[in-house]
Amino acid sequence: MRRLGTERASMAWFRRSKQNPPPPVEKQDIWIVCPKCTGHVFKAEWEKSLKACPKCNFHERLSCQERLRILLDEKSFHEFDDHISVIDHLDFSDAKEKYAEKAQSAEAKTGLKESVMTGRGRINGIPVTVAVMDFRFLGGSLGSGTGEKIVRAASYALKHRMPLIIVSASGGARMQEGTVSLMQMAKTCAAIARLHKAGIPYISVLTDPTTGGVSASYAMVGDLNIAEPGALIGFAGRRVIEETIKQKLPDDFQTAEYLLEHGFVDRIVNRGELKDFLHKVLAYWGKR
Radius of gyration of the chain (CA): 25
Looking at this protein, which amino acid is placed at residue 167? V
Shared-domain flag, residues 75 and 47 = no
Residue 41: give the domain boundaries: 25-58
Q: Give the distance from CA 277 to its chain's centroid.
A: 19
Please report which confidence band the pLDDT of residue 19 belongs to, taking 50, 70 and 90 as the band edges: low
Q: Which tens digits make up the pLDDT trace of 149-208? A: 999 999 999 999 999 999 999 999 999 999 999 999 999 999 999 999 999 999 999 999
Looking at this protein, which amino acid is placed at residue 229? P
pTM > 0.95: yes or no: no
Of 76, 133, 130, 81, the residue nearest 106 (C-alpha): 133
Whether the CA torsion 145, 149, 155, 159 is positive or negative: it is positive
Shared-domain flag, residues 266 and 126 = yes
96 CB-near residues (< 8 Å, 6+ apart)? none
Shared-domain flag, residues 129 and 263 = yes
Shared-domain flag, residues 40 and 168 = no
In this structure, is residue 1 part of a structural domain?
A: no
Secondary structure (3-state) at 195: helix
Of 112, 117, 115, 108, the residue nearest 138 (C-alpha): 115
Q: Which tens digits make up the pLDDT trace of 263-278? A: 999 999 999 999 999 9
